[in-house]
Amino acid sequence: MGIDALIILVYVLVLASFLGFELISKVPPTLHTPLMSGSNAISGITMVGAILACNEAGLTSVSKILGMLALILASINVVGGYAVTDRMLKMFKKK
């Protein structure tokens, strides 16, 4: 990978981080839990990509380690998101 590709990747990372921060900061607090529930689907896609990065198909050990880290973090996000969503839905059930 050349230096030009690395600069483009860093540019995309910085732009996506800034855009994500701006979008999340504009969300009212009442919508955070439903949005977390929706983000579980995105984390599920991340898990599929991380599993592909962890496979043995000639990838470097760095990509395997990063794929495993991504898999762990996405799993934590999915489990936490479902726990929060379940807790939110229990608030609306009749006692």
Which residues, 6 or more positions from 85, have their beta carbon under 8 angstroms from its beta carbon? 33, 36, 37, 40
Q: What are phi and psi of 9, to 5 degrees?
A: -65, -40
Answer for the pair 53, 70: CB distance below 8 angstroms, yes or no: yes
5-62 pLDDT, tens digit each = 888 889 999 999 999 888 878 877 777 666 766 777 777 888 888 888 777 665 677 7
| pTM, entire model | 0.58
Q: Report the residue count for the chain.
A: 95
2-20 pLDDT, tens digit each = 788 888 889 999 999 999 8
pLDDT of 57:
65
